[in-house]
Amino acid sequence: MYRHTVQYYETDKMGVTHHSNYIRWMEEARVDFLEKKGWPFARLEEEGIISPVLSVDCRYKKPSRFSDAVDIEVSVAEFNGVKLKIAYRMYIGDELICEGESGHCFVDDKGMPIRLKKSFPEFYGMLEEELNKQE
């Protein structure tokens, strides 16, 4: 679980969090998730793994406001060794305020696709394990 506290600059004139910030929080939560699993971005990049974003989807349920503590659950929704979909559920307390997904692929520093199972079996195994937790 990742926690983000809504900052004043993230809100609009009505005091509601601007919709674009939820996408940023998804990225923060994904970086935190990978770090907690032993794969911080620095390690991924050192290993030669780059994971560009292919898609983002975000569904807003309820607004958040300045100083709200937003808890973000992160899970592996889909993974086939080449592409990855991460799911996010955001809560204030027990109330779901937003949910979404981000789609990613894996490429080397030249932009060529990487087959994780062959090239990075430890990272592949961690993602497979996380996917299996959802099934």
Which of these, 80, 71, 76, 126, lies nearest to 101 by C-alpha position?
76
**Residue 79 to residue 127: CA distance in whole angstroms:** 7
One-letter amino acid of 31: V
Question: Exposure string (b/e) for 11-44, b if CB count within 10 Å is 16 or more?
Answer: beeeeebeeebbeebbeebbebbbeeeebeeeeb
Q: Report the catalytic residues.
A: 12
Is 84 within 8 Å of 127 (Cβ atoms)? yes
